[in-house]
Structure 1
Amino acid sequence: MFSSGQLYFAVFFVIVFIFTMIYVYRKDLKQLQQQYKGTYWILFGFLLFIGLLFIIKVYLKE
């Protein structure tokens, strides 16, 4: 299906890609924490909204 060269390239690419993503994330971590401060409130509001929709669905079904 795949030649050995293609498999070596795929494994090498995945390993290098993962290490590069970890390096870039750690490099930008301090800046990301400042820019995205308060995003947990948005997640909480979204989950609360989904929960309310579920409660309304269960209530109206009965």
Structure 2
Amino acid sequence: ILIGAIIEKSPADKDGRLRPGDELMSVDGIPVAGKPHRYVIDLMHGAARTGQVKLTVRRRIQPT
């Protein structure tokens, strides 16, 4: 799952670490590679009920 955009004033926007282009690898330790988009969204909504979600992402480093 690639992050396309960060919604303004969302928790991800306020946190500042997630960026467009990041690839979501897991949600609270549950791998999401190859999973349907709806499954990942439902997983994130469920995890967010606790007030915290641990995301593991992969970021491509741009050459300078």
Q: How high is the TM-score relative to the length of structure 1?
A: 0.26
Larger Rg: 1
Higher relative contact order (CA closer than 8 Å, sequence separation 6+): 2
